[in-house]
A and B are shown apart, each in its own frame.
Chain A
Amino acid sequence: MNLPVADRRSAPTERPNSSLGQRPGDAGIRNYQFSVLPFTSGPPYVPGIKTSDLTRYVLLTAMVGCGAFGGWRSLGPGRFWIAGPESGTDTTGQALLGMPDFSTQLGAKLRGVPVNRALLVDGPPFWTTTDVVRLAACLLVPRPVAAFSGCGDALRFRNPAAVLFFRSTPAEASQKLPQPAAEAFGSDSSIVSLKAAP
């Protein structure tokens, strides 16, 4: 049948059809089954579900299951209260329990910092410690500390008690931070430039 385009669009038998997606005007061939997936014929194995749909339900369940697994693994600080610190990566657990050297080093560096309590987060030498610090921040720090250059965290919202700019070289560490940065982070935030841990 050689119909013009507009007519072909409305021709009822032009498009393959199925019970999975009815088109208006296709009622005459409604029972035609089309699927590239298996289980396209035979009796219904699950009451109320067509066999042609069964594979799709199975795949859908797999997708939801895998998505839920990945989502659970991706949850933020809340997971510590639900599943305990061991639910994170091995490194996170070790860092939390063992308190490796970097904490001591940074703690020493921070003693001169004019804030009540301060914590540092991630940064190149400490990629895997973010969760630890988040947890600690949630538990300990009333007005958390934000950030440093490249990658950092503004922990638990609000105006941070201090903004710590982490410099990777002694030369950078000696530089003062521009004054407008203090205004941007909040007038009562301390701005601190820190030297990198070795």
Chain B
Amino acid sequence: MIAWAFLALLVLLAGGVGLAATVLPRRDWFAAELAGLAMPFGTLAVSASWFLLSFLLRDAALRWAVTVLCLGLFALGLRRVVSLQIRVCGEIGWALGAIWLVQFAVVTWQSLGCPLASDGLFIWSFRAKLAFLDGGQVAQPYFGMPWQELHPTYPLCYPLVQTWIFSWLGQTHQGAVKLVCPLFFASGVGLLWTAVRRATGNARTAALASTLLFFVPWAMFKPGGAASGWADFPLAVAYLAALTLALESALPTAPDPPPFRTHPLFWSLALLPWTKQEGIVLAGTIVGALALRSWLERCRDWGSVALRLALLTAAPVTVVLLWRWYLAVNGAAPNRDFLPVTMQAFADHYERLAPVGILLCRDLLNVERWGLLWPFALLALWDIQRRHPRESTILALAIFAPLAIYTGSYIFSAWPSVVRHANSSLTRLLIPLAMPALIAIGLALPAGAGGCRNRT
């Protein structure tokens, strides 16, 4: 029976590879890049098509329609893959390859050995089951007030991927949905490798950097981590995908105006708010970083840059507006966690910044949660600012801008105790931000000998 879950994931990955290969620009790709993008893009392809087609089709017809779409994307992408060059860097070394395998095995073991737990069950998997049992859509009553504790306003990307697996299985299965966890981890490793490889030109440095993801405890085995089955880690991988594509524009070989890789970035930025609500902050950060980078580089063709930035902004904004419209149509219960953002609320509660700030600092320095990630990320950003000025600008903004917004958002917390609110969610919000931190550390690593050294 579990073989059907593997088949569901295979179709999802085929759709992801197809979408990635179709939208990536015409240049030489890394196999790791294509493999890394397969999971987030496959998630987007399956969940978005499932959501849209569920207004027309139900049950098996819906499953087959999404399957045909994914295989169609794969066929389209395959034509480009065979006609263009894909680079496989084989000089990574057997030791690092073995480390990757061990890490993958441990994440798989933990993913299948740990339960979905609270958010994984009640916020994500629960709605996946509802959609499965109702033929493809979450029924309207479940958006109402009695179900407010289940956060009906959260996006459906991740639940619909689980629904997709259930539809192939023919039943709900809380173990089968955890099969996506090691795939997201592998995707993160591949994208981290690509980002560092492209910036440093060194395959072994990139391989070394990509092994570090495993050594961020909270991003791996804690609630919201890779093995948990919650949406936080898929959001982190989506952020990493967008960052990897955005960093391409920071290469010294990039023309003026910089090519923002508009098409793949468009889909990556659309995926962010579709995965989790805070994705809109992350998408805005990336657009802001690209704008800042263009301004710092004194791009001459501002018209073209502005047009591309507007196009990129449109992706997440459209997703958010459509989702809000859908929620309004279904009469979704409003989010009770935050007060309306007003000047009065700010004036009443701005003193909350102090306890939240202290909590944040203690969290960032908690070795058991994060290892030495954050102090070393700071050190790395300082270290690379002269060797990789463009990359360091984007990476610094990718870490600090969301951090500031997240911290500030607790001013508007509706919980009686803001510390309790921050304790319940702040650490998980940092998981996506660990990705730019790891890229920065990767750029500061020693350059290993060998590898494919020419930059692309």
Interface residues of A (CB under 8 A from B): 5-6, 9-10, 15-24, 34-37, 49-50, 52-53, 56-57, 59-60, 62-64, 66-71, 73-78, 122, 134, 146-147, 149-159, 178, 180, 183-186
Contacts and interface: CB of A to CB of B under 8 A. Distances in A.
Interface in B211-254: 212, 214-218, 220-222, 225, 227, 252-253
A90 B36 CA distance: 40
B383 A70 contact: no
A162 to B, nearest CB: 14
12 contacts: A9-B256, A15-B389, A20-B387, A34-B386, A37-B383, A67-B214, A69-B371, A73-B368, A74-B218, A75-B110, A76-B227, A154-B125
Q: Would you list the 8 A-B pairs with minimal beta carbon distance, nearest first?
A: A67-B215, A157-B175, A70-B217, A67-B371, A53-B446, A76-B114, A74-B221, A151-B118
B113 A63 contact: no
Contacts of A134: 115
A21 B380 CA distance: 14
A69 B443 contact: no
Interface in B107-162: 109-110, 113-118, 121-122, 125-126, 129-130, 133, 139, 141-142, 146, 149
A21 B388 CA distance: 9
A62 B383 contact: no
B324 interface: no
Q: Which of B221, B297, B379 has most chain A Cβ within 10 Å? A: B221
A24 B255 CA distance: 15
A183 B142 CA distance: 13
B115 A184 contact: no
B400 interface: no
Contact of B441 (A9, A35, A63): A63
A184 B386 contact: no
B76 interface: no
Given A35-B383, A152-B121, A66 B367 contact: yes
Contact of A6 (B110, B256, B441): B256
Contact of B256 (A5, A74, A149, A185): A5
A35 B444 CA distance: 10
Given A19-B447, A63-B441, A153 B382 contact: no
A122 B369 CA distance: 21
A70 B372 CA distance: 10
A152 B150 CA distance: 12
A62 B372 contact: yes
B217 A67 contact: yes
Given A157-B178, A184-B130, A20 B372 contact: no
Contacts of B225: 74
B201 A185 contact: no
A21 B200 contact: yes
Contacts of A69: 367-368, 371
A10 B251 CA distance: 11
Given A157-B173, A180-B142, A185 B218 contact: no
Contact of B370 (A19, A22, A70, A76): A70
